[in-house]
Chains A and B, each alone.
Chain A
Amino acid sequence: MLRADALQAIYADIEDKIVVTIMGAVAAELYMLGHKEHFFYLEHAMGLASSMGLGLALAVPEQKVVVIDGDGSLLMNLGTLSTMARYRPGNLLHIVFDNESLLSVGGFPTATSTGTDLAGIARASGVPSVMEANTLEQLQTNVKQALTSNTLTTIVAKVEAIGPKTFHMDLGLLENRFQFARTLEMMQRKKV
């Protein structure tokens, strides 16, 4: 499964959700599919997209929050799984694209290439719903199920270590940051 295809397959399900992605290839691929003002691309601070997602999910419990993580990033902040599991916001969906590689920084293999099982770690951390997807159909089904379940879910999707030719996004970091915050403010106002 190519991650770009996987993102395309779930785009319709996540395009109206608050989304936080990790940096590099993932951010660029989602951006190319179609930027939304409630998408935030965390272009640094590796490992913290899931912590940001937890903060968002706790702050706006009436909104669905989707984190798009990667194996390298998650391995840098494994404690996040125990913290998410502890507070288990039902409005948080944590998708991990595992390409067994630090693709955006030279393609060196991560520990998932030698057997580290992120889904297993998520389960053992207490994440109430953990699913694995190896095909586009499985991923689509898992995402739809997770978004309707109101249960904190981690989905680990194995993908190939192939990314876009360029990571360029015509969107400044701070432009994204302020646009995102403004959009969330407007979403909150609509709810009131």
Chain B
Amino acid sequence: MPVSVAHSRVIYDALKACDIRIISALPETWLVHLIRMAEEDPDMTLVRLAKEEEGIGISAGAHLAGVHSALLMQNHGFLAAINPIVSLALLYKIPLLMLISYRGHFGEKDPWQTQGGLATEPILRALNIPIWHLTDPSDAARRIKDAQTLAHASLHPVAVLLSRELMWED
């Protein structure tokens, strides 16, 4: 599976540098190495979800208890979590660090991913959620830290879109 282990490691190390203690995730092809790294890390609590919306609740609980968390999700998982993002995270001013694998965008070969790909950014914008396209491994750590900093300063969700060029080695 040509998912980049090296770039997954860069992203995982960036999350560790952000003092992330809880990661909630639902498996997705591009996220396999990240989830495995979380699983193998004895200092990380990995919560494998049944559905992404649970992750919004888990991150909200963790935040109110003073613990940093992150969410690993596919963009269709983000779409599945919209009501909790609105009626928990936005309503209660909860920062969320969402790392979203950006399927269905340029270069996508799977037709079933494409509608979600087309909808992802317009919906993030409609929710006023700041977006960063993570494409370059050399500045990934800086961008993820900046995303977390903004989330905490604004008490608002942020979205780091994990791009095909970063995650996938064709």
B→A interface (CB under 8 Å): 21-22, 45, 47-51, 53-67, 69, 83-84, 87-88, 91-93
Contacts and interface: CB of A to CB of B under 8 A. Distances in A.
B57 A52 contact: yes
Band of interface residues on A? 35 or more
A151 B63 CA distance: 24
B94 to A, nearest CB: 8
Nearest to A43: B91
A51 B50 contact: no
B65 A184 contact: yes
30 contacts: A20-B61, A44-B87, A45-B57, A45-B87, A45-B91, A48-B53, A48-B88, A51-B53, A51-B56, A52-B57, A52-B58, A53-B61, A54-B54, A54-B58, A55-B58, A55-B62, A56-B62, A59-B65, A59-B67, A82-B50, A86-B48, A173-B91, A174-B92, A174-B93, A177-B92, A177-B93, A181-B63, A184-B65, A184-B66, A185-B66
Contacts of A40: 64
Contact of A181 (B45, B50, B57, B64): B64
B57 to A, nearest CB: 3
Interface string A145-160: 0000000000000000
